[in-house]
Amino acid sequence: MSTTEIGNVSVPAGVNLPLYMDNHATTPLDPRVLEAMMPYFTTVFGNAASRNHSFGWEAEAGVEKAREQVAKLIGATAKEIIFTSGATESNNLAIKGIAEMYKERGNHIITQATEHKAVLDTCKRLEKSGYRVTYLPVKADGLIDIEDLKLAMDDKTILVSIMFANNEIGVIQPVAEIGKLCHERGVLFHTDAVQAVGKIPVDVNAMNIDALSLSGHKIYGPKGVGALYVRRRNPRVQISEQINGGGHERGMRSGTLNVPGIVGLGKACELAGEEMVAETKRLIALRDKLKAKLEGALDYIHVNGSWEHRLPGNLNMSFVYVEGESLLMGINEIAVSSGSACTSATLEPSYVLKALGLGDDVAHSSIRFGLGRFNTEAEVDYVADKLIDVVQKLRELSPLYEMVKEGIDISKIEWQAH
């Protein structure tokens, strides 16, 4: 096998650098999705709202097929699917739309501290408009405590929004239990299911979900397109529109539909449904191999978040006594995500990791590996070997690591300022 030397780690044949292992941020477009989309860029270019000629009818047929494909993946009906520009818009539409529509009934919303910013910032915006929002803490494993949720509910609670699976630590919340509790209390339940849909089974009826956000680019579909599921029966959920215009999408979301994007989202959902069982098995094997190789060669490393309740392709690990920025620079030909906030240029430690109770130093030395459909075993081997090499080199330079190895409790040291 031919190899290329980079540092102490050889790059095996078939592994191309830079290498992508950040599939929670976005996924590459599946070639089969692109193939389904192509006609809608060229020959089938009609506006799906043009009802009086064949160009419009063909576009509309493509959209309606996609609606069926999306609905099937989550156990919904086609009429319950609203197309949007992505999950951020879906989250905004669901939370603001429900808050406005049900404000006569109450003004209290419950969410959790580790939600995506698209949910947290939407809730903060509503607080400025007089809504009360409760931000539930999470336990050290990243899961909410159902008892906390019960205690937070009152007679003014109209909406609970808890994400299905976390984008950083991959932790899967007890969604069916949350949905059951909400329905018993007559409270609507929304979930940001961006990381879960297409990766693990999602059934909106079995799980008592009233509104669900999903996005194309997390499931090997195009960017800039997403969907919102809105329950039509038991209970019928009403949402006030946030974008006004021609009354598209049954009056819930105006604007000319992104037909090629929607067709791509539909195809991506269809493929995810067909391949989920096999893909889950493969990704768990790759992820477990990566974890085992790292743990076999390095000490003072740990997994962040529940191992049992976790997405198949997620591994979030802290490499203690290593400076996070140096670690990322050492593996700069591997695309991964760090434990520092990626939402801005600041080096703030991730609020999700801090919510688990991790210290800043531990959060900064964390890496999120997002394994996906196109990652291979050879890539996993290379990433593990490269990371082991870089961590060992950095720790050789770390006086803290040396002290810990000598049995010194560094938390008890009083550092002197000079």
CATH of the domain at 386: 3.90.1150.10
Going edge to edge, which strands form the sheet with 366-370? 301-303, 314-319, 366-370, 337-338
Is 26 annotated to bind ligand?
no
Ranges of H-type helices in 102-240? 117-128, 146-152, 175-185
The pLDDT tens digits for 209-232 are 999 999 999 999 999 999 999 999
DSSP helix/strand/coil, 5 = strand
User: At 377, which amino acid appears?
Assistant: E
Question: pTM value?
Answer: 0.94
DSSP helix/strand/coil, 161 = strand
Cα 329 to Cα 27, 291, 323, 378, distances in angstroms: 23, 21, 10, 22
Q: Are 81 and 67 in contact (CB under 8 A)?
A: yes
Is 16 annotated to bind ligand?
no
Instruction: Answer yes or no: is 418 within a domain.
Output: no
Confidence of residue 334 (pLDDT cuts 50, 70, 90): very high
Instruction: Answer yes or no: is 417 within a domain.
Output: no
Beta-carbon neighbour count of residue 97 at 10 Å? 23
Q: Is the pLDDT of residue 1 over 50?
A: no
**Active site amino acids:** 342
Number of domains composing the chain: 2
Domain boundary among 213, 240, 272: 272
Contacts of 402 (CB under 8 A, 6+ apart): none
Contacts of 11 (CB under 8 A, 6+ apart): 3, 4, 5, 17, 382
Confidence (pLDDT) at 412 = 76
Q: Are 26 and 219 in contact (CB under 8 A)?
A: no
Q: Determine the structural domain holding residue 283 and report its residue range.
A: 4-29+276-412
Q: Which residues pair with 367 in a beta bridge?
A: 317, 338
Domain boundary among 272, 299, 328: 272
Is 42 annotated to bind ligand?
no
DSSP helix/strand/coil, 407 = coil
Is 182 annotated to bind ligand?
no
Residue of 332, 313, 286, 353 lying closest to 140 (CA atoms): 353
Confidence of residue 4 (pLDDT cuts 50, 70, 90): very low
Domain boundary among 256, 272, 288: 272
Q: Is the pLDDT of residue 70 over 70?
A: yes
Confidence (pLDDT) at 325 = 85
Asked if 12 and 54 sit in the same domain, the reply is: no
Q: Is the pLDDT of residue 198 over 70?
A: yes
Confidence (pLDDT) at 273 = 98
Cα 323 to Cα 318, 340, 356, distances in angstroms: 11, 12, 20
Confidence (pLDDT) at 5 = 38
Residue of 65, 396, 121 lying closest to 262 (CA atoms): 65
pLDDT above 70: percentage of residues in the chain: 96
| CATH assignment of the domain containing 75 | 3.40.640.10
The C-alpha atoms of residue 159 and residue 129 are separated, in whole angstroms, by 16
Confidence (pLDDT) at 47 = 95
